[in-house]
Amino acid sequence: GRSSRWSLHPRSFHHLSLLHTTMKLSLALATLAVGGASAFSVNQNGGLRTSTQLNVFRQPIMAGNWKMNPTTESDALNLAIGFCALVDTLEDTCGLDESETCTEVVLFPPFPFISKVKDIVQEKGITVGAQQVYYEDKGAFTGSVAASMVKSVGCEYVLCGHSERRTLFSDSDVNINAKVKKVLEFGMKPILCIGETQEEYDLGITEEVCAMQVSKDLAGVSKKDLENVVLAYEPVWAIGTGLVCDAEDANKVHKFIRTVLAKMYDEEAAQSIRIQYGGSVTPESVDGLMAMSDIDGCLVGGASLFSDKFARICNFKAAEE
């Protein structure tokens, strides 16, 4: 239902290339759906429904991705201290492997700050993670960090496939898949990030892009290992732009992702996995997002650099069903 941007536009050749990509994605999805009812069927109201509704409780998870911020160690430690001071006022936060009735909180500081930030936040039950790793165990890979290294300093989670790693550092699906499996091998939990660009959104191929990324990035990951994977849907056009995908639209994508997982694994796996939303999440938008049935948490960027904002996000107030 979006207007065409093809005719006599100076970027016509680029759009033709995207159209070719769309056709390839559609063919790949058709192949994936062979051998039974398609996992990608849309029902009358435009939402997506799984074939069997399971009564599964998914523990909320809020993650703060500091990216390449703040600029000094002292600023990083002050940020951690400030957030911890506010955590005492939050009734429903907890750490990894604690009660599933509370909200799990994870921080992703830059590599140099991980250890000292962990020392500050662990007493509050907050977990730390690494923003990325390389898929090799060791060797002549200047500037890279191995999974064993971040594991040894206390990381429980690792971001894999963040859009900035995909676009700025050319992280391919093959490499992301290798990183996901390496993180699992070392007993940590990957947060696998997927999502469409602005151009892909404008072309109406959000579902195709997400399905392809999930299929490629989880290739070779067993159902048992999937229990330790968190997904994060992050529409690239909403990251750092101040734009937020409408909560209901985001929820539809999350539902669709579960249909992909049901086809790859089964309905139980699809309904059990936690799927975060990421993309300019704010204290003002979090309640609406977390009121949605299939949004299990948020991957927060800019707002996580402000103690009060991130504390409010972690202490979301979802509407009653």
Q: What is the pLDDT of residue 56?
A: 77
- Contacts for 167 with CB less than 8 Å, ≥ 6 apart: 197, 236
- Contacts for 307 with CB less than 8 Å, ≥ 6 apart: 79, 82, 83, 85, 86
- pLDDT tens for residues 124-135? 999 999 999 999
Which residues lie across from 64 on neighbouring strands? 107, 300
- For residue 4, pLDDT over 60 is answered with no
- For residue 149, pLDDT over 90 is answered with yes
- Separation CA 247–CA 304 (nearest Å): 20
Q: What is the pLDDT of residue 319?
A: 63
- Separation CA 187–CA 156 (nearest Å): 8
Distances (CA, A) of 312 to 183, 238, 272, 287: 30, 20, 26, 10
**How many percent of the chain have pLDDT more than 90?**
72
Q: What is the pLDDT of residue 217?
A: 98
Query: Which amino acid, residue 247?
Result: A
**Alpha-carbon 133 to chain mean position:** 16
- Contacts for 213 with CB less than 8 Å, ≥ 6 apart: 161, 173, 194, 195
- Contacts for 170 with CB less than 8 Å, ≥ 6 apart: none
- For residue 43, pLDDT over 70 is answered with no
Residues involved in catalysis: 162, 234
- For residue 105, pLDDT over 70 is answered with yes
- pLDDT tens for residues 252-297? 999 999 999 999 999 999 999 999 999 889 999 999 999 999 999 9
Q: What is the pLDDT of residue 241?
A: 78
Angle at 158 between CA 63 and CA 73, to 5 degrees: 70
SS3 state at 210:
helix
pLDDT tier, 310 (very low <50, low <70, confident <90, very high otherwise)? very high
Contact in structure between 94 and 126 (CB atoms under 8 Å): no
- Contacts for 111 with CB less than 8 Å, ≥ 6 apart: 130, 131, 145, 150
- Separation CA 228–CA 157 (nearest Å): 10
Q: What is the pLDDT of residue 13?
A: 40
Q: What is the pLDDT of residue 36?
A: 35
- pLDDT tens for residues 204-263? 999 999 999 999 999 999 999 999 999 999 999 988 777 768 999 999 999 999 999 999
- For residue 96, pLDDT over 80 is answered with no
Query: Which amino acid, residue 102?
Result: C
- For residue 15, pLDDT over 70 is answered with no
Least confident of 12-16, 152-156, 253-257: 12-16
